[in-house]
Amino acid sequence: MRILLDECVNPRVREAFRGHEVRTVVQMGWGGITNGKLLALAQEEFDVLVTLDQNIEYQLNMRKVKLGLLVVKVPDNKIKFYEPIFSEMLEAAEKLSAGQVLRVTSPLL
């Protein structure tokens, strides 16, 4: 599976997706672009976008999006807040299909 980490996601989160191809928005040279353009680019090369943007699904017509969206909610962007939910994030990403949105929330919230 090909996974893209939004620029708002700590890049060390790639550790949650071992065995999968993981890139960041910055690595792709897509930093600073709007959500609509980002999704247009991402859906051509990735299966899942991982983001902290809690409103992204409401800004887009998800029925037309050709990738899954994993929305994560953590109290802070430090890796220690993601680590307790690594297995949930991996499981959710592996279940996602195109146009679907799944959410994983830290138990610390």
Q: What is the largest CA-CA distance in the chain?
A: 35
Write down the pLDDT at residue 53: 95
Write down the pLDDT at residue 62: 82
Q: How far apart, in Å, are the Cα atoms of 54 and each of 1, 18, 25, 91?
A: 23, 25, 17, 19
Nearest CA to 1 among 41, 46, 35, 34? 46
Burial of 46 (0-12, 13-18, 19+ CB in 10 A): buried
List the chain residues with pLDDT less than 70. none
Write down the pLDDT at residue 77: 97
CA 109, CA 66: separation in Å to the nearest integer? Answer: 30
Write down the pLDDT at residue 57: 84
- Contact partners, residue 16, CB within 8 Å, separation at least 6: 82, 86, 87, 89, 90
Write down the pLDDT at residue 60: 80
Q: Please state the pTM of the whole predicted model.
A: 0.96
Write down the pLDDT at residue 9: 98
